[in-house]
Amino acid sequence: MPTIFTHAIAASALGALYRRGAGPAGAVEPRLPRGFWVLTVVCAMLPDADVVAFDLGLEYGHMLGHRGLSHSPLFAAATGAVAAWALGRGPYRAAYPGARAALFVYFSLVTASHGLLDAFTDDGLGVAFFAPFSAERYFFPWRPLEVSPIGGHGFFTARDVRGGLRWIEVLWSELRWVWIPAGAVVLVARRLRRAGRASV
């Protein structure tokens, strides 16, 4: 899996693209609430809570094992529904009546981004995208991300077959393939948003 930080960074880049839609006529679009960003990070990291399966004696390839059901689109949709319900209430809902549907789509995508990133890693058993209907695991054909030790155990001491520190290779691959592209997405989103404000 990519490090937990990388899942959060990729999800935050998606957050930079999120648009609330039209509010009341003439209203200035408010800043996204803090809860939006907290839920963004939590939803992106949540699928890896399945590492507790190892402590419960479940095998890696089990439906409830690592990269199993919690990495599936079905789990992402369920998580998106809960997050949308939690955030799409009160003043936020009053200002943006259609926000809950948009939040559901957004938080579902944020949660699903976890499994998608994992499918780009170079080791493990793959991701059970069709759980609970199938336990078969999948990777993408192109897998540029160095896999991180599960649960972070031994992250700073593990070495690869050539004797190099594994964490340097992991972070370097994530910097190139996730962090820099995510940063570019954020910068472009901000530039477009400023241009939109200037044209109003």
In a domain, 177, yes or no: no
In a domain, 185, yes or no: no
Convert the pLDDT of each residue in 42-81 to its tens digit: 999 999 999 898 888 888 889 999 999 999 999 999 999 9
For 137, the domain range is 4-10+33-146
In a domain, 132, yes or no: yes
Amino acid 138: pLDDT:
97
Q: Count other Cβ atoms within 10 Å, centred on residue 67.
A: 30
Number of domains into which the chain is organized: 1
In a domain, 19, yes or no: no
pLDDT for 7 beyond 90: yes
In a domain, 130, yes or no: yes
> Which own/partner contact pairs does 176-185 have at CB distance under 8 Å and 24+ positions apart?
176/144, 177/120, 177/144, 177/145, 178/2, 178/6, 178/9, 178/10, 178/117, 178/145, 179/6, 179/9, 181/13, 182/9, 182/10, 182/12, 182/13, 183/13, 185/13, 185/16, 185/17
Question: What pTM was computed for the model?
Answer: 0.84
Q: Can you tell me which residue has the tokens 């880049």?
A: 13
In a domain, 179, yes or no: no
Tokens coding 61 = 């390839």
Amino acid 193: pLDDT:
78
Convert the pLDDT of each residue in 91-125 to its tens digit: 666 556 668 888 999 999 999 999 999 999 998 88
In a domain, 174, yes or no: no
The overall average pLDDT reported for the chain is 83
In a domain, 178, yes or no: no
